[in-house]
Structure 1
């Protein structure tokens, strides 16, 4: 690597405030706040709103909100089992 061309890549703790979960990784992110980690070292800590521990897609709690019902809306528009099916034949 060329000197003074790349950002400082160091150990950082990311803390998910929604899930109360923290993990140690390497990043170029910086912070004034520090945290004492399990290994006895002190690392900068970056607070994040959401991570894989609290994101609905990764936790399996993702829901599709369908207030009207796609099948009912399709049947109403194009016929089907309802009253529209008899008039199209």
Structure 2
């Protein structure tokens, strides 16, 4: 490996400002704020979204279906498909 070509990495803590989650890692970023964690000074960086607060990763995202399933089917295949299908015939069990 060549010497003096790699950036210097520092201990860093990223703090999610929406939920307060903390991620301790290493990064090339520095900041004015420093926090002591396990006897080591870490640079503190605030982030607005992380895996702890993003709706995709937390599963709290909501999908609102504004159009019903039958309306979608009708729009896609037309009324004729519904008329041709008719009502399903039920068979009696045990007869």
Q: Normalised by the shorter chain, which TM-score bucket?
A: 0.7 to 0.9
Match of 2:58 in 1: 59
Q: How does 1:30-49 map to 2 (within 5 A)?
A: 30-37=30-37, 39-49=38-48
Q: CA 1:72–1:31 in 2, change beyond 3 Å: closer, same or farther?
A: farther
Q: Distance in 1 between matches of 2:31 and 2:17?
A: 16
Check the 8 A contact 2:18/2:48 in 1, yes or no.
Answer: yes
Q: 1:32-89, CA deviations, whole angstroms, 9 ceiling, x for partnerless residues?
A: 221222x1322101111111111112212122233224x244223123xxxx1227xx
Give the RMSD, CA atoms, in angstroms. Answer: 2.3
TM-score where L is the length of structure 1: 0.73
**1:8 pairs with 2:8:** yes
Structure 1, unaligned stretches of length 5 or more?
none
Q: Distance in 2 between matches of 1:48 and 1:31?
A: 13
Structure 1 stretches of 4+ moved >4 Å: none
Match of 1:74 in 2: 72
